[in-house]
Amino acid sequence: MNILAFESSCDETAAAVVADGRTILSNEIFSQVALHEIYGGVVPEIAARSHLEVISLLADRALEKAGLARADIDAVACTYAPGLIGAVLVGVNFAKSAALALDKPLIPVHHIRGHIAANYLAYPDLEPPFLCLAISGGNTMLVDVRGYTDMRILGQTRDDAAGECFDKSARVMGLGYPGGKPIDDLSKQGDDRAYDLPRPAVNDGNPYDMSFSGLKTAVVNIAHHAQQTDEALDKPGLAASLCRAVSETLVGRTMDAAKALGYRSIAVAGGVAANSRIRADFEAACRKAGRTLYVPPLRLCGDNAAMIGAQGYYEYLAGHIAGPDLNAYATMEI
C-alpha cells in the first residue's frame, strides 16, 4: 500500500511516499535554504504561507522521486495535530484535496505518533509494545506504546522541552541556533563535572514528569555571573555539564519507566536523539539493563513526512480514516 504523506506542523514542509508503513520510496523536505534558492529574497522563518507555496511542488517531487504516478497512490496521510494551526491547516487542506482528487482515503496522523513511527522505518523488526522517549525542540515526552495506535503519555516536561533547554543555553553561551549541535560539539572538549548543575526533580504527582526550566535558568545564572565578575566562562565544561544533566534526567526517567513497566525495548525519537552524550548514555544503560535500544538515523529524527506515512499506514489498518470535514488542531493528546 503506497501512502502519500504530508507534514507541515511547524517550520518544515515535507511530502513523502511510504510503502506498507515500512519502506521509504521518497522523503522530500523543504528547508529555508531551498526556499531561498527557488523564490529568492527573505522568507520569514515561520510562515504558513511558505508551506502553501511549496507543498504542491513537494508532492510532485515526492511522486517523481518514488517513480510513481498519481494512480499508484492508495491513500493520503497528513499531520492534523498538534502544531501551529495555520501551518497544520495547509497540510490538512492539501491532503484533503489530494485525497478527493485521487478518490482515495484520507488518514489523519498525530505528529508525535509520527515521530515514534520513524522507528518503524529504521527498524523493520520493531513492533509494539515498547517504550518511547520523544525528545525535540518542542516536545519531551515518555510514551507507553502499547500498540501501533494505542499509546499513553507516561510523563512529559512541565515547562521547557529538552531541545529548548539546549537552544536557550546555547544563546547565553554565545553559540548559534539551533543550539543542540554546537553544545554537543563543544561538550566533547569539556569536563562534565566542571559545573554543578541541578537535576530538576518533579516531586509532586507523576514520577515520570520532567522539568528543564530550572536547568536552563542555572546555565543563564552561571553565564551572567561570569560576565558580571569578568571571570572566564569554561564553555566546554558548561556544555559538557549541561549535556550530562539533561542526559541523566532523560535516561534515568526512561530506564525507571522501562523497569516499572517491564519493557525490553526502548525507542528514542525526535531531533534531540542526535545528541552524542544522550545516545552513549542510553546505549550504556540499555546494555547494563539488558534492554534493546532503537534510535532512528538523524534524517528521520527531525520533522519529515515519511514518519507520517509510516504511522498513517497503521492508522489506516486501525480504520482511522477522515472525511472532507477533517480539521486541524493546535493541541491534542497523543
Partner 1 sequence: MTYTTHSESGTEALGAEFAKTLPAGAVVALYGDLGCGKTAFVRGMARGMGIDCVVNSPTFTIVNEYLGGEMPLFHFDMYRLGGADELYDIGWEDYLGRGGVCAVEWSENVPGAFEGDEIAVRFEKTGENDRTITIEGGPLTC
CA distances from 28 to 225, 263, 306 (A): 45, 34, 8
Site string for partner 1, 91-130 (x = CB under 8 A): ----------------------------------------
Q: Is the peptide bond before 129 cis (omega within 30 degrees of 0)?
A: yes
Minimum CB separation of residue 220 from partner 1 in Å reads 4
Between CA 28 and CA 311 the distance in angstroms is: 17
Q: Which is nearer to partner 1, 326 or 330 (CB)?
A: 330
Instruction: Please give the angle made by the CA atoms of 13, 14 and 16, to the nearest 5 degrees.
Output: 165
Contact 150/135 with Cβ under 8 angstroms?
no
Q: Which stretch binds partner 1 (CB under 8 A): 90-98, 179-187, 211-219, 275-283?
A: 211-219
Query: Judged by CB, which is closer to partner 1: 110, or 168?
Result: 168
CB of 159 to partner 1, least distance (A): 5
Farthest CA pair distance, the chain: 68
Q: Which positions from 139 to 158 touch partner 1 by CB under 8 A, shown as an x/- string?
A: x----------------xxx
The verdict on 330 binding partner 1 (CB under 8 A) reads yes
Q: How many residues bind partner 1 (CB under 8 A)?
A: 36
Residue with cell 552524550: 277
Closest CA to 11 of 104, 122, 88, 65: 88
Residues 2-31 close enough to bind partner 1 by CB under 8 A: 10
Query: Looking at beta carbons only, is 35 or 99 nearer to partner 1?
Result: 35
| Structural contact between residues 171 and 215, judged by C-beta atoms closer than 8 angstroms | no
**Is 217 a binder of partner 1 (CB under 8 A)?**
yes
Site string for partner 1, 225-264 (x = CB under 8 A): ----------------------------------------
Told to check if 159 binds partner 1 by CB under 8 A, we report yes
Q: In the beta sheet, which residues pair with residue 322?
A: 106
| Residues within window 32-71 making contact with partner 1, judged by CB under 8 A | 44-49
Closest-CA residue to 29 (of 311, 330, 302): 302
Q: Alpha-carbon distance 179 to 177, whole Å?
A: 5
Residue 276 binds to partner 1 (criterion: CB under 8 A): no
- Quickly count: other Cβ atoms within 10 Å of residue 274's Cβ: 20
Q: Kindly state the helix (H) or strand (E) to which residue 259 belongs, with its residue range.
A: helix 235-261
Q: Residue numbers of the site for partner 1 (CB under 8 A)?
A: 10, 44-49, 82-86, 136-139, 156-161, 163-164, 167-168, 171-172, 213-214, 216-217, 220-221, 330-331
